């Protein structure tokens, strides 16, 4: 049994460039029920269960970050909702919302389990979620996800809307795959009252595909969208890397995440924790900190707090994302599913 940690506030986490770390993304599993072509190899080797942090340990780690000023927690995977008993963690973390110490608890999901869990998520305090959806063509959806079923995701979206959860659709722009469908995806999302964010494919992990064949610059996509819509700049931000416009014709918001064509690191206020207790201070760098060892070394958080502070002191200014067109290899060897994007 894990005891509650003291309610004392710790020192705020300030990186070497003066950025206060207020946003923690937590991967609760590297497993997923899809095998998206830009994220995973079709034949993945997943971590043995013994290597994973328990849900109680994940709760203790998240609580430590909340004590140090983290205001936003995003639960990710793999697919977070395939983790057994995952709602226990959401209920436990939801207590930080009730206390006012946490501003937002949210998740990124592929939507496959939303039909089952949407009501429970809302009850724990989840008000907003990101759903990854790269196409609304059933056959193309099967091709992109390899294992997914579009109708299941659509029922999940309906369930989330019925529960009163605000949805943002995340779309990875893939050359010659969904390039011509993006205007329809924008209309689809906005018709449901959902924001939509377009994302450049990120060069992480060997996915069995040619990265140069997948890569579609969002500068090109934005130019193409202007043939369909009037895009109006807006100062709206969610705390993540997206830069938003308002689509005049629909009234909805459209975001762009551009790690390759426009580096967004100058305002980065987030770090990423894996399901094994490894903290990545930057998505696009290999440097990481082991938090599992100090977590398990003592029932009190003195060693853990020191390890967290030391890690933040090593947070780099930015990433080094690049698609190597000569070798066609990723910039970073680990798969996106390890850190949840």
Kindly list the domain boundaries of the chain, sorted by start residue: 23-339
Which residue in 149, 200, 203 sits closest to 178, CA to CA?
Answer: 200
Predicted confidence at residue 3, as pLDDT, reads 42
Whole-angstrom distance, CA of residue 218 vs CA of residue 143: 22
Residue 270 marked in a binding site: yes
Whole-angstrom distance, CA of residue 23 vs CA of residue 199: 19
Whole-angstrom distance, CA of residue 217 vs CA of residue 199: 9
Whole-angstrom distance, CA of residue 107 vs CA of residue 13: 22
Q: Percent of the chain, pLDDT > 70?
A: 84
What is the gyration radius of the CA atoms in the chain, in angstroms? 19
Predicted confidence at residue 39, as pLDDT, reads 80
Residue 253 marked in a binding site: no
Its sign, for the CA torsion 192, 194, 195, 200, is negative
Residue 166 marked in a binding site: no
Residue 32 marked in a binding site: yes
Distance between alpha carbon 244 and the CA centroid of its chain, in Å?
17
Residue 108 marked in a binding site: yes
Q: Three-state DSSP class for 185?
A: helix
Range 23-339: architecture per CATH: Alpha-Beta Barrel (3.20)
Q: Render pLDDT for 255-280 as a digit per residue (tens, 0 to 9).
A: 999 865 545 566 788 999 999 999 99
Flag residues of the chain having pLDDT under 50.
Answer: 1-7, 204-205, 207, 262, 321, 323, 325, 330-332, 334-335, 337, 341
- 8 Å CB contact between 269 and 20: yes
The partner residues of 245 in beta bridges, in order of sequence, read 233, 254
Predicted confidence at residue 295, as pLDDT, reads 97
Its sign, for the CA torsion 31, 91, 160, 257, is negative
Return mean pLDDT, the chain. Answer: 87
Q: Running DSSP on this structure, what letter comes out for residue 257? A: E
3-state helix, strand, coil in the chain (%, to 5): 35, 20, 50
Residue 265 marked in a binding site: yes
Predicted confidence at residue 102, as pLDDT, reads 98
Residue 168 marked in a binding site: yes
With helix as H, strand as E and coil as C, how does 41-74 read?
A: CCCCCCCCHHHCCCHHHHHHHHHHHHHCCCCEEE
- 8 Å CB contact between 261 and 217: yes
Q: Running DSSP on this structure, what letter comes out for residue 37? A: T
Crossing angle of helices 86-99 and 114-123, in 10° steps, is: 30
Residue 277 marked in a binding site: no
Sequence-separated (6 or more) residues with CB below 8 Å from residue 156: 111, 112, 113, 114, 115, 118, 131
Predicted confidence at residue 276, as pLDDT, reads 96
Predicted confidence at residue 286, as pLDDT, reads 73
Residue 38 marked in a binding site: yes
Residue 272 marked in a binding site: yes
- 8 Å CB contact between 57 and 277: yes
H helices present in 10-165, as ranges: 55-67, 86-99, 114-123, 138-145, 150-163
Residue 122 marked in a binding site: no
Whole-angstrom distance, CA of residue 290 vs CA of residue 236: 35
């Amino acid at each position: 049994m894990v005891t509650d940690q003291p309610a004392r506030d710790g020192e705020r986490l300030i990186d070497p460039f003066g950025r206060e770390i207020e946003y923690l993304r937590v991967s609760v599993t590297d497993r997923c029920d899809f095998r998206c072509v830009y994220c995973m190899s079709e034949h993945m080797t997943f971590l043995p269960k013994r290597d994973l942090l328990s849900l109680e340990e994940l709760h203790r780690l998240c609580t430590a970050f909340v004590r140090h000023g983290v205001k936003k927690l995003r639960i990710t995977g793999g697919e977070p909702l395939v983790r057994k008993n995952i709602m226990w963690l959401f209920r436990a973390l939801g207590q930080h919302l009730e206390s006012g110490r946490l501003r937002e608890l949210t998740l990124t999901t592929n939507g496959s389990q939303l039909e089952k869990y949407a009501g429970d998520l809302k009850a724990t305090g989840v008000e907003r979620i990101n759903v990854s959806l790269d196409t609304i063509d059933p056959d193309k959806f099967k091709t992109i996800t390899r294992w997914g079923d579009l109708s299941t995701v659509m029922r999940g979206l309906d369930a989330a809307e019925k529960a009163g959860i605000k949805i943002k659709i995340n779309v990875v722009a893939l050359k010659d795959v969904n390039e011509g469908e993006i205007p329809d995806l924008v209309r689809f999302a906005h018709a449901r009252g959902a924001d939509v964010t377009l994302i450049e494919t990120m060069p992480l992990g060997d996915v069995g595909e040619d990265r140069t064949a997948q890569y579609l610059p969002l500068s090109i996509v934005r130019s193409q969208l202007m043939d369909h819509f009037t895009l109006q700049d807006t100062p709206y931000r969610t705390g993540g890397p997206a830069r938003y416009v308002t689509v005049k014709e629909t009234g909805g918001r459209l975001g762009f995440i551009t790690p390759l064509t426009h580096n967004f690191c100058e305002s980065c206020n987030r770090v990423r924790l894996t399901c094994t207790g490894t903290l990545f201070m930057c998505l696009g760098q290999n440097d990481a900190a082991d938090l599992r060892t100090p977590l398990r070394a003592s029932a009190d958080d003195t060693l853990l707090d020191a390890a967290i502070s030391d890690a933040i002191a090593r947070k780099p200014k930015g990433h080094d994302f690049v698609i190597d067109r000569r070798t066609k290899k990723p910039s970073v060897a680990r798969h996106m599913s390890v850190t949840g994007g």
